A and B are shown apart, each in its own frame.
Chain A
Amino acid sequence: DAKTTQPNSMESNEEEPVHLPCNHSTISGTDYIHWYRQLPSQGPEYVIHGLTSNVNNRMASLAIAEDRKSSTLILHRATLRDAAVYYCILSAGNNRKLIWGLGTSLAVNP
């Protein structure tokens, strides 16, 4: 299973954009890039996923490098409710299972 590398922690101010990086240099052609987040004492929550093209949804944007060896999750205006651990995960085709790292713990300052 291909691995991802994320910073342990990041900090942001409320209402400012946040860019959460993820390196996945061993990604294969069939790997999807998934982002989930987990608020304290809750189950993980799906954020966004993509394969090659950049993706946008109501929660965030996902920018994927042209060589796909890295990606960035963008929260356009951070709120206090966005404070969570953000996980970048690769999942290939019919592999289905998600392999989780330690993620990035995001703190949002008021």
Chain B
Amino acid sequence: NAGVMQNPRHLVRRRGQEARLRCSPMKGHSHVYWYRQLPEEGLKFMVYLQKENIIDESGMPKERFSAEFPKEGPSILRIQQVVRGDSAAYFCASSLRGHSSYEQYFGPGTRLTVT
């Protein structure tokens, strides 16, 4: 049973370009969470999605960032017109149910570097 998969593992973008990060949840999981981690810091919640729906985007910057989880295919976190401050590790997690009594399983992360 494959775990949570993220790709790419490393992504380098120049300022102003777009970054697309993909997350395939564990088999059977329909709840996906995205987190961002700056160096030497804990993770920061960004967005929680269920298939085709954004449930909680309270941690998402208002501009340039968007997320989707279509009926078919992986969840996508999109960052438009990247800036140096977007450089970070982005982790996605999935869970079987959307309740805090259920554990979240994390992918290996995508490390975004903006030059």
Contact = CB atoms under 8 A, between A and B. Distances in A.
Contact of A96 (B4, B55, B105, B107): B55
A46 B100 contact: no
Interface string B25-44: 00000010101000001111
Given A97-B45, A97-B59, A43 B108 contact: yes
Interface in B1-56: 4, 31, 33, 35, 41-45, 48, 55-56
A32 B91 contact: no
Contact of A99 (B45, B103, B107): B45
Interface in A33-85: 34, 36, 42-46, 49, 51
Contact count band on B: 20 to 34
B66 interface: no
Given A101-B42, A102-B42, A103-B42, A96 B100 contact: yes
A44 B91 contact: yes
A46 B105 contact: yes
A12 interface: no
A10 interface: no
A92 B99 CA distance: 8
Contacts of B56: 96-97
B88 to A, nearest CB: 13
A97 to B, nearest CB: 4
Interface of B: 4, 31, 33, 35, 41-45, 48, 55-56, 58-59, 91, 93, 98-101, 103-109
